[in-house]
C-alpha cells in the first residue's frame, strides 16, 4: 500500500469533512491539514486575495513537508484557485465543487437547493454547472456565512444554536417541494443533522466528500509514490487561536496534532 503525503487546505475547519472521507479510504497516508484562520472566512475576500493567500501557504508547506497531492477542501477557494495552483505545482490538485449534477439527477421534484457561502453561490463557475446539468430543475441558492460559523463552533465542541440555524434557513422553510440540497461548503456536512431538523421536507443531502476522496485515491494510485515523511496527521493554522487547548482537544478527536505554521 502506497503512503502519500497529502495537504488539505481550507480557510476554516470545514475541510475536515473531506479529510474524514479520505482517511477512511486511505488510513495509512500522511495527512496535513491547514486552515487559514488569518483569512477566514474566504467568502468575504476578493478572488485575487484568495488566490495569492492559497498559493503562498501551499508553497510554504510544500517547502517543509514535500507533498504528493493537495486537496483544496474549500468550495469558495476551489472556484478560483485550481488553475493557478496547477500552474505552480506538478503534483495532483483536487478541488471541491457543488454536487449540482447528482442533485439534479436524484431529485424527484426537480426542485433543488444550493447551500453554500456567499462567495460560492454567485461565482460564474456555479452558473455554468447549473446551466450544464440542472436547466430542467428549479435551483434555489442560499449563501450564508453564519452557517460556517455555526459549524466551526460545533467542531470546537460547542453546542449548535438551532434558533440561529433556523433563522438562517428560514427562506427555504416553506418550500415544500425542495427535496434535495447540495451542501456546497465543506463545513455543512458537519451540521447536516441539524440542517435536516430545520428543513424536514428535504430527503437528500449531496455531500461531495466521498467522491473527492475517491478521486484523490485514484490519482495517488497512479503516482505509485512511497512517502518518506515522518509527519502524520498534523494540523496548521496561520495565526494564533483563542482557547488553544480546547481546540487541540477537539482536533485530537479527528486524529490531528497541532503544529506551528
Annotated binding site for substrate: 10-11, 42-43, 75-76, 186-187
**CB-based burial label for 94 (10 Å; 0-12, 13-18, 19+):** buried
- Give the Cα-Cα-Cα angle 118, 119, 120 (nearest 5 degrees): 95
Query: Which of 110, 120, 115 lies closest to 44 in space, CA to CA?
Result: 120
Cell numbers linked to 180: 434535495
CB proximity list for 198: less than 8 A, separation 6 or greater: 162, 165, 166, 169, 173
* 155 contacts 250 by C-beta, under 8 angstroms: yes
CA–chain centroid gap for 79, Å, is 12
* Residue 185 annotated in active site: yes
Is 58 an annotated catalytic residue? no
208 closest CA partner among 180, 183, 177:
183
User: Mind spelling out the 3-state secondary structure of 27-81?
Assistant: CCCEEEEEECCCCCCHHHCCHHHHHHHHHHHHHHHHHHCCCCEEEECCHHHHHHH
Catalytic residue among 34, 58, 137, 185: 185
Which one from 74, 137, 182, 237 is the annotated catalytic residue? 74
Residue given cell 475576500 in the structure block = 45
Omega prior to 41 cis, within 30 of 0: yes
Query: Contact at 8 Å (CB) between 181 and 202?
Result: yes
Catalytic annotation, residues: 74, 185
Amino acid at each position: 500500500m502506497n503512503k502519500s503525503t497529502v495537504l488539505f487546505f481550507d480557510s476554516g475547519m470545514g475541510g475536515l469533512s473531506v479529510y474524514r472521507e479520505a482517511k477512511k479510504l486511505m488510513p495509512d497516508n500522511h495527512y496535513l491539514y491547514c486552515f487559514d484562520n488569518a483569512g477566514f472566512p474566504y467568502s468575504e475576500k476578493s478572488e485575487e486575495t484568495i488566490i495569492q493567500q492559497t498559493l503562498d501557504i501551499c508553497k510554504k508547506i510544500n517547502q517543509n513537508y514535500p507533498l504528493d497531492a493537495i486537496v483544496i477542501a474549500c468550495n469558495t477557494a476551489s472556484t478560483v484557485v485550481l488553475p493557478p495552483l496547477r500552474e505552480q505545482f506538478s503534483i495532483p490538485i483536487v478541488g471541491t465543487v457543488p454536487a449540482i449534477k447528482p442533485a439534479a439527477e436524484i431529485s424527484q421534484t426537480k426542485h433543488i437547493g444550493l447551500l453554500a457561502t456567499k462567495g460560492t453561490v454567485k461565482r460564474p463557475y456555479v452558473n455554468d454547472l447549473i446551466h450544464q446539468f440542472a436547466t430542467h430543475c428549479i435551483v434555489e441558492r442560499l449563501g450564508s456565512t453564519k452557517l460556517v460559523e455555526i459549524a466551526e463552533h460545533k467542531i470546537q465542541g460547542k453546542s449548535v444554536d438551532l434558533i440561529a440555524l433556523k433563522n438562517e434557513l428560514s427562506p427555504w422553510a416553506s418550500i415544500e417541494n425542495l427535496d434535495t440540497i447540495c451542501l456546497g461548503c465543506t463545513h455543512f456536512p458537519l451540521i447536516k443533522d441539524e440542517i435536516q431538523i430545520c428543513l424536514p421536507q428535504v430527503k437528500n443531502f449531496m455531500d461531495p466528500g466521498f467522491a473527492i476522496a475517491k478521486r484523490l485515491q485514484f490519482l495517488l494510485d497512479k503516482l505509485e509514490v512511497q512517502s518518506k515523511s515522518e509527519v502524520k496527521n498534523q494540523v496548521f493554522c496561520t495565526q494564533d487561536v483563542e482557547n488553544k487547548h480546547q481546540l487541540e482537544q477537539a482536533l485530537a478527536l479527528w486524529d490531528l496534532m497541532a503544529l506551528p505554521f
